Structure 1
Amino acid sequence: MLASRLLVAVTLALAAAAAGPQLSPRVLHESRGFAPLGWNPVRRATGLRIPLKIGLTQPNLASIEEYLMDVSHPESPNYGNHWSSAKVAQTFRPTQDSVDTVRTWLHQSGIEPHRVKVAGGWLTADVTAEEAEELLGTEYYVYEHENGAVQVGCDKKYHLPEHVSKHVDLITPTIHFDTKVKREQPGALGKRKTQNVGAPGFGPVSPKTTGTIKDVIDELEHCDTHTTVNCLRALYDFVYYPLVPDENSIGIVEYTPQAYSPSDLDLFFKNFSSSQVGQRPTMTSIDGGTIDVNGSGFGINGESNLDLQYAMALVGERQPVTLYQVGDPLEGGSFNNFLDALDGSFCTFEGGDDPSQDAVYPDPIKGGYTGKEDCGTVTPAKVISTSYSYDEWELTPAYMERQCAEYAKLGLMGTTVLYSSGDYGVGGYGDTCLLPNGTAGPGGKIFAPSFPGGCPYVTSVGATQVNPGAKVTDPESACEQVIYSGGGFSNVFKMPGYQKDAVNSYLSKYPPPYSTDLWNNTGSRGYPDLSANGANYPVAVQGEFYLVYGTSASSPVMASILSAVNDARLALGKNSIGFINPTIYSDVFSFGFNDITNGTNPGCGTKGYSAQPGWDPVTGLGTPNFVKLVALWLLLP
């Protein structure tokens, strides 16, 4: 009898061992340095039940750069063969292996099968706070928001068994604060920390002005003081007549309450492009986006007026320009709200948006947009320009990585995504610099990169200038008037393969003269990629002309030039240029840019980096020469 019992015990043990992987050592899965603004821990979560939601890894996500290179590298036989949205969704759908691995881990950890449910790419486990702490190697607290909201979350970080971690993107509630928080009313939109990137003065990218000007000069002899449409055409050899405008598309993204003024558009056209008086962008409203906002003036109209006046004038009257207006006037919006509208799968990808950073629709504020959230309702333009940004330190790595992956997917589908690189050189918003713990504050000296410019799947655009007293035919320099071209090295994203030669060449020939305690020299993504003029733009705002500065101008200018390249390719039956970074970093395309070798991007008590021959973290590869670029792109399949 004893022998038979022993045999049964051994058999059961062997069966258990074969049933699934054993628990492996724990590894750090996610962390953040501090809770989002307004949230504070008030007590331990002892005795509470937690619906633990486990988002499964999207398969093949680790190969997304490889897939993107296959359709974007000029030497690839599949160059330009962009994917359909259906193929993208299918490729990154979670696998059964991930479901089985996570479920087995939960069962081996004492969570009974009836407490675990599977829905799509998620597993939900009904656990106590104590069980959650044991599962994740962390401590749970009840957090309260200054507006009264309450949420359970863990203390700054959590862990997973190593063999489980590779199957999990994220777990909530942990360090992601997903409780709906009552937003500040419009009078508080000027506050620095808000999920509304359209708040006046928000972030490291926002147009700066030296004030109004009485006399608007549109002469090439004065491009050092007034950067007009004709100056830009002369600088970048850009004159083009669209051949297939109905097949082509260019989009400019704005975030309410930023909004353009139609009368200002006409005033600008009257002075610089008379045939376009009365022309308007084609507006696509996302989550209640509108140009009918309370308040006016440079803080509300400056960004949108700048972007649309120059983009529309540069592409000309034949090429329609789409305005993506994101968010209602009360809550506004974020980059994720915009991406939700472009790709329905992104709405739930890796757990969906983060309400501590992203707007929630229907709007919980009285009088806000009550319609359904825009999710997969908008077709992406072939070129999209955004003149807004965050500082990296404000966001969690998981938040940025989720968003960055979406830019890669847009590239797979043939969209070129441009972002301004920042206006504070190597510093963050208002020349905010980092402390050794990764936060920003007084006394910070460490360089503060921007986002999404540091994402390897966007094209980051820096700023140049025509030097005071110089001719429009003279070489430009890095912008050092009012703003400094944002640039540097990401603290989150590794260096992509397409830029390794260019960036390593810069670092070996022109090593930054700073301690590596101040900047990330561990092989990270360098930015910007390209540049365009960012100084002395006459912009019509509320019936007057302001002189405006910023990478806010550089991005829509670059978008206009790339849109013309698309038109030329489409006219020959070729596909759009899509994700351009692998192409522009190739040896052949080095001849398509005006190399910028003068100027720096000061910040954090330093002179910043220096513009040098070849790529540099001030102006990237340089400014465009349209005639050369369109010829080079027309030679590609």
Structure 2
Amino acid sequence: MAARWFRTARLIVGCMVLALVGAGPAVAQPTNGDAVNDRVPMPGSTPQWARPDLKAGRVSPGSQRRVLVALSLRNRAEAQQRAIEVSTPGSPRYRHFLTAEQFVDRFGPDQHTVDRVRTWLQEAGLHVEGVSANRHLVTATGRVEQLERAFGTGLARYRYGKDVLVAPESPVRIPADLRGEVSAVLGLDDSHRLIRSRLVRSPQQTTQGPEGSGGAEEDCAEYWAQHNNTAVPQKYPEGRQSNVLCGYTANQLRAIYGLGQEATGAGRTIGITGECTLATAESDTNRWSRRMGLPPLRPGQYREVLQPGAAADAPECRGSGWGVEQALDIQSVRAMAPDADIVYYGGAPESGSVFEALNTAIAQNETPVISNSWGEDEPEVPTDVRTQFADMVTQAANQGQSILFSSGDSGDNSGPSAFGFAAPDFPAESPMVTAVGGTSVGLDAQNRVEFTTGWENSADQLQDGQWAPIQSADGDFIGGAGGGVSPNYSMPIYQRGVVSTRYARGQRAVPDISALANNFTGMRIGFTQAPHGFVLEPVGGTSLASPLIAGLLADRMQVHGVQRMGFLNPWIYRSYRSPGLADVTHHDAGVWTSRMHLADRTLVTGSYLVDFDSKPQSLQSMPGWDPVTGVGTPTRTFVYGY
């Protein structure tokens, strides 16, 4: 197991400061001969996977790379304290939000700092592309030899599993007069290649064309237990075993959360971030809407803000798989809030551009809720990346933006297809975002909820007429909501008294709230996929849960006449055990399927029974806060009441 970064992020109300303190690697001299006296190293600027024993050679000096130089907030401690105060019910500053312009004037990097960074990069021969509206990111491109000169380190290739990734050989070195004013340099290493969407596709076959009958293979159930294969052993009582579902429709999803026709999210705007864009996203959503009985998108109701290289025809975007994620995010928001406007912020699959997309959403400040269905598939996220991320979400909280992150789909991440040890995902583990976990829901023919339990799936295979746990690299685990205890952040004050100190041991616990995620129930979405054309397919994962919560927030804001709710966690934990949140506990239930994906996404066929919330690793739902569903899942009262 590789060594982990241990750092703390303390959230304190009263003397409320979010301290971001980290241990960095030993100082190393640059390898390219640029050992000038006016340079200082940036601790925490090299990824832990870039070990000397894994080095596979140097990077071609003439190859091009794009980097993002992140600038630190001014008066960071004050900005972080204010972020908590405006987000905490009962605080004199509660919901006294700043505009983007007010935040930048008060806390953003000043123009003098931007000019000095621009001069430094240009003198090294780099082309400065631009500066973000909030002055947080300065983007530049150049040849590797120029980047090595600018940042005082060599770039090398390192073996990472089956891949080869680029990273600095030693800590980045910056001009001494910029110490404390540059928080990170994104794009020098290939950490961005480890960012994945949190979508889990159902193993069921897709249905082609506008006249397809459902969304999956013929033996799937349109609602819980509509079909149940009685030719296989019945492990669960009557009504608790079903064939795999075809994916819930928009109407069924609204029934799960008790939404009436008047809850539409009208007048509210939801932001979504991801990588690349699907060329047919809008037309696919309109085709899906017709199938779901929803009106088409109004002109201008959906729009895109794309970073350079994020276009659908960009070379690195072709076949990236992010298009299905985009379709899921848009359509799940529409299911919950069909009249809400949607803005998709797309980053390119390079240089941390998905962080750039999120920063754009925050800097523009047009979307009071931003759903993010992605995360790092690497536990050792460099400290500088965490620091610059904290600056971004601190701005969002001050502006009243709610930042949601999917908690992940690999359970506690202890399986070999994930981290190999128990730890939650980043950025979901950040105490300044709302981590959205996952549930499994059985909805009957009358649109009544039969049960809600956690999403932690295991699988049995039919052998000699009996069910036996499957044997794979991850044991019988085949997917579940991410959760657990962060080694990187201390327990925020809003979790105290709700999350068991015996469980969390004084650390940040994940997730905070939850919604439908189980891919064996899932949601039926529509998208264009070669060579089939337009298809309907059931999809799940916490990639579904996060935008569902976003849509419910739009409904709540509409119903209550509120424009922004801000950083949600202090309010969510104040709402613990209130009628607006249903406590999710374990229920025995399962589905039969003839097709199944293992935890590593390998498709297998046969006769399988998928057990819900069966604790295949260390996670399971339970009374009170739990590491699968957080404090619970929204009820009708979440939108209409309290």
Give the TM bin, normalised by the shorter chain.
0.5 to 0.7
What is the identity, as a one-letter code, of the residue corresponding to 2:570? Answer: P
TM-aligned CA deviation for residue 210 of structure 1: 0.7
User: 1:82-121 alignment to 2 at 5 Å?
Assistant: 82-92=97-107
In the superposition, relative to structure 1, how do residues 212 and 608 fare at CA in structure 2: closer, same or farther (>3 Å)?
A: same
Aligned to 1:30: 43
Aligned to 2:483: 487
SS in 2 for 1:621: coil
TM-aligned CA deviation for residue 213 of structure 1: 4.5
Structure 2 residue 276 is the aligned partner of structure 1 residue 285: no
Q: 1:523 aligns with which of 499, 506, 509?
A: 506
Taking only the aligned residue pairs, the percentage that are identical comes to 24
TM-aligned CA deviation for residue 385 of structure 1: 0.8
User: 1:263-302 alignment to 2 at 5 Å?
Assistant: 263-276=283-296, 281-288=301-308, 289-291=310-312, 299-302=321-324
SS in 2 for 1:203: strand
Aligned to 1:538: 524
Structure-1 separation of matches of 2:429 and 2:322: 27
Structure 2 residue 225 is the aligned partner of structure 1 residue 232: no
User: 1:92-241 alignment to 2 at 5 Å?
Assistant: 92=107, 142-145=154-157, 155=170, 168=180, 179=188, 195=192, 203=196, 205-214=198-207, 215-216=213-214, 225=245, 226-241=247-262
Structure-2 separation of matches of 1:293 and 1:170: 30
| Cα contact 2:552–2:639 (8 A) shared by 1 | no
Structure 2 residue 637 is the aligned partner of structure 1 residue 627: yes
What is the identity, as a one-letter code, of the residue corresponding to 1:30? Answer: P
Structure 2 residue 497 is the aligned partner of structure 1 residue 501: yes
SS in 2 for 1:210: coil
Structure-2 separation of matches of 1:565 and 1:580: 13
| Cα contact 2:312–2:318 (8 A) shared by 1 | no
What is the identity, as a one-letter code, of the residue corresponding to 2:567? Answer: F
| Cα contact 2:265–2:555 (8 A) shared by 1 | no
Structure-2 separation of matches of 1:296 and 1:211: 24
| Cα contact 1:72–1:79 (8 A) shared by 2 | yes
TM-aligned CA deviation for residue 615 of structure 1: 1.1
| Cα contact 1:266–1:278 (8 A) shared by 2 | no
Structure-2 separation of matches of 1:69 and 1:395: 24
Aligned to 1:611: 621
Aligned to 2:579: 591
TM-aligned CA deviation for residue 238 of structure 1: 1.9
In the superposition, relative to structure 1, how do residues 204 and 493 fare at CA in structure 2: closer, same or farther (>3 Å)?
A: farther
What is the identity, as a one-letter code, of the residue corresponding to 1:460? Answer: A
Structure-2 separation of matches of 1:410 and 1:587: 22
Aligned to 1:72: 87
Q: TM-score, normalised by structure 2?
A: 0.62
Aligned to 1:9: none
Aligned to 1:104: none
Aligned to 1:387: 373
What is the identity, as a one-letter code, of the residue corresponding to 1:547? Answer: P
Greater percentage in strand = 2
What is the identity, as a one-letter code, of the residue corresponding to 2:43? Answer: E
Structure 2 residue 449 is the aligned partner of structure 1 residue 473: yes
In the superposition, relative to structure 1, how do residues 382 and 495 fare at CA in structure 2: closer, same or farther (>3 Å)?
A: same
What is the identity, as a one-letter code, of the residue corresponding to 1:581? Answer: N
Structure-2 separation of matches of 1:89 and 1:82: 13
SS in 2 for 1:68: helix
TM-aligned CA deviation for residue 569 of structure 1: 3.2
> Greater shift after overlay, 215-224 or 237-246?
215-224
SS in 2 for 1:212: coil
SS in 1 for 2:97: coil
Q: 1:338 aligns with which of 327, 349, 357?
A: 357
In the superposition, relative to structure 1, how do residues 340 and 473 fare at CA in structure 2: closer, same or farther (>3 Å)?
A: closer
Q: What is the aligned-residue RMSD (CA, Å)?
A: 4.6
What is the identity, as a one-letter code, of the residue corresponding to 2:274? Answer: E
Structure-2 separation of matches of 1:332 and 1:145: 16
| Cα contact 2:411–2:456 (8 A) shared by 1 | no
In the superposition, relative to structure 1, how do residues 468 and 266 fare at CA in structure 2: closer, same or farther (>3 Å)?
A: closer
What is the identity, as a one-letter code, of the residue corresponding to 1:585? Answer: Y
What is the identity, as a one-letter code, of the residue corresponding to 2:429? Answer: G
TM-aligned CA deviation for residue 211 of structure 1: 3.1
SS in 2 for 1:532: strand
SS in 2 for 1:483: strand
Structure-2 separation of matches of 1:583 and 1:272: 33
Structure-1 separation of matches of 2:337 and 2:508: 31
| Cα contact 2:156–2:168 (8 A) shared by 1 | no
Structure-2 separation of matches of 1:229 and 1:266: 13
SS in 2 for 1:393: coil
TM-aligned CA deviation for residue 337 of structure 1: 1.1
TM-aligned CA deviation for residue 591 of structure 1: 2.9
In the superposition, relative to structure 1, how do residues 333 and 276 fare at CA in structure 2: closer, same or farther (>3 Å)?
A: farther
Deviation string, structure 1 residues 456-480 (Cα, Å, up to 9, x no partner): 1111111111259898423311113
In the superposition, relative to structure 1, how do residues 614 and 340 fare at CA in structure 2: closer, same or farther (>3 Å)?
A: same
Structure 2 residue 442 is the aligned partner of structure 1 residue 423: no
Structure-1 separation of matches of 2:224 and 2:490: 42
In the superposition, relative to structure 1, how do residues 475 and 322 fare at CA in structure 2: closer, same or farther (>3 Å)?
A: same
Structure-1 separation of matches of 2:397 and 2:249: 31
| Cα contact 1:455–1:493 (8 A) shared by 2 | yes
SS in 1 for 2:438: strand
TM-aligned CA deviation for residue 268 of structure 1: 1.6
| Cα contact 1:141–1:155 (8 A) shared by 2 | yes
Structure 2 residue 250 is the aligned partner of structure 1 residue 250: no
Aligned to 1:21: none
Aligned to 2:425: 450
What is the identity, as a one-letter code, of the residue corresponding to 2:498? Answer: A
Structure 1: unaligned runs, 5 residues or longer: 1-25, 44-53, 99-119, 123-139, 182-192, 344-375, 434-443, 512-520, 633-637
In the superposition, relative to structure 1, how do residues 564 and 34 fare at CA in structure 2: closer, same or farther (>3 Å)?
A: same
| Cα contact 2:581–2:635 (8 A) shared by 1 | yes
TM-aligned CA deviation for residue 310 of structure 1: 2.1
| Cα contact 1:307–1:553 (8 A) shared by 2 | yes
